[in-house]
Chains A and B, each alone.
Chain A
Amino acid sequence: MSNRQFVLACLTPLFIFSLAFLALPLVRLFLASGEGENGWAIYLDILRKPRYLNTLWMTVLVSISVTFTALAISTTAGMFLSRNRFRGRGVLLSIMTLPLAFPGVVIGFLIILLGGRQGLINQITPGHVVFAYSVIGLFLGYLYFSIPRVLLTVMAAAEKLDPPLEEAARTLGASPYRVVIDVILPGLMPSLIAAGAIAFATAMGAFGTAFTLATNIDVLPMVIYTEFTLSANIAMASALSIVLGIVTWALLLIARSLSGTTVAAGG
């Protein structure tokens, strides 16, 4: 067997697998989205029917607020953790990255323990404070899995920042505040955009958390799920999946071209 044949043989299992279980199913999904009573106009329906449009807006809104909150928190914490060496730093870092592998359902449950009817906040505060099942719960759940992802990206970028650049700015008379604005943030910017896109795409597609919170807030993945299982509206579920898939894929493509890192969406 020649070298070229061997290399091609090596790619064959991948090719067959992704054809059978990725390409063909996705084509089927796309075709299914046009098999409803309205045909391909279903994509216009998404924009016309308030139920879907509101869902879309709600999902985008929650995802945007999660993205910016996670960026603010993780950048602050990430810079702090990468610039300071102190006892317990490793522990803090572990705590902040461990949730990476928690599935969305577990995170939903953790939010219930925090803000549910039997949750911590309800127990230690007077009155009835339950937020787990509202949009706040959803927001906190998404924030929970976004913080570690953004933090890792920011810390990786912070380590690559060139310290002499900051020192140069200081010798030129810049205050620490100006150094942050003029040197550190621009240096981190590609990674921040990338991390933001990842957080946004992850929040858009998150299913497990919303599922566990059994929230009455309509977010896109929940609507897809109910359309498919309860209403048996397979065409709409497929169309919404296609839209969601394209949005998250495009965002992560941008993210990767800016940072060159791979972080899983999922959750």
Chain B
Amino acid sequence: MHKSKAKMLQLIVTLSACAFLFVPTILSVMAGVTANYFQGISSGLTLKWVFRVWELYADSIFLSLWLAIACLFCTLLIGLPAAYGLARHPGWLSRILEEFISLPLAVPGLALALALLQLYGSMKGFRASWTFILVGHVLYTLPFMVRSILAVLAAIDLKTLEEGAATLGASPWQRFRDIVVPNAMPGILAGALTVVTLSIGEFNLTWMLHTPYLKTLPVGLADSYASMRLEVASAYTLVFFVLIVPLLMAMQWASARAQRIAQ
């Protein structure tokens, strides 16, 4: 009896937490497809708000997708060799470097953005271009890529595998291409999905770094929350969910898979 009572309590807490997290999400989705939110569902369902969002914010959505892809490219280019270097060259120097590049995980985006703005704000061409936002995104997502790959590389006996390849005549570059990259694939995949998901949703840095001509999806969201009617804001949020939820699910699947390998 005692046990089932405790279980009931746990269930109630769990369900309440779920309701707290889920109900607003549903509200937002509903509001986005309701003709008039104040009158409720009875006013009819419509997609006109979604189309309106498309008219107003298509550029933001495309900019975010473009940034996410560019960010993925940069984090791969920097992060994949770096993860390999850190895995092959362990020691205090690597620890410090890894710790240092992980700072953006801990330090709020606002502080990083202020730092970037003060150093590069006066370089007008750079400041005003999309690459400035890209730098912020790469800064924030790079540690995820590096750590995701590093975790997988640390779990396999990379040194011996490479020595094996070396005795068979493979040069450092061939070993990297034939042995390191294929075996790091689960980590690369998990890292890539994380980078894209985070880049599309990044707001804190982007809000400080963006210009009126370069609004990303989350910046557009903040904009719509402040100045648009509730239905449009909701429809825009709905568009965001449609983009981000499948990515998030893929990311969780890939991370769990990479973690299984890393154990």
Contacts and interface: CB of A to CB of B under 8 A. Distances in A.
Nearest to A205: B108
Contact of B103 (A22, A98, A266): A22
Given A120-B23, A144-B20, A253-B106, A113 B222 contact: no
Interface in B1-56: 2-3, 6-7, 9-11, 13-15, 17-18, 20-25, 27-28, 31, 37-38
B13 A73 contact: yes
A252 to B, nearest CB: 4
Nearest to B163: A3
B99 to A, nearest CB: 8
A104 to B, nearest CB: 6
B242 interface: no
Interface string B217-256: 0100110011000100110010010001101110110000
A250 to B, nearest CB: 8
A196 to B, nearest CB: 15
A13 B77 contact: yes
Interface residues of A, number: 91
Given A11-B85, A144-B20, A266-B140, A109 B77 contact: no
Q: Provide the main secondary structure of the chain B interface.
A: helix
Interface in A1-47: 1-3, 6-11, 13-15, 17-18, 21-26, 28-29, 32
A221 B110 contact: yes
B257 interface: no
Interface of B: 2-3, 6-7, 9-11, 13-15, 17-18, 20-25, 27-28, 31, 37-38, 77-79, 81-82, 84-86, 88-89, 97, 100-112, 114-116, 118-120, 135, 138-140, 142-144, 146-147, 166, 171-173, 176, 197-198, 201-204, 207, 218, 221-222, 225-226, 230, 233-234, 237, 240, 244-245, 247-249, 251-252
Nearest to B31: A113
B28 A113 contact: yes
Contacts of B225: 105, 108-109, 112, 212
Contact of B88 (A7, A252, A266): A7
Given A108-B225, A110-B28, A245-B111, A207 B204 contact: yes
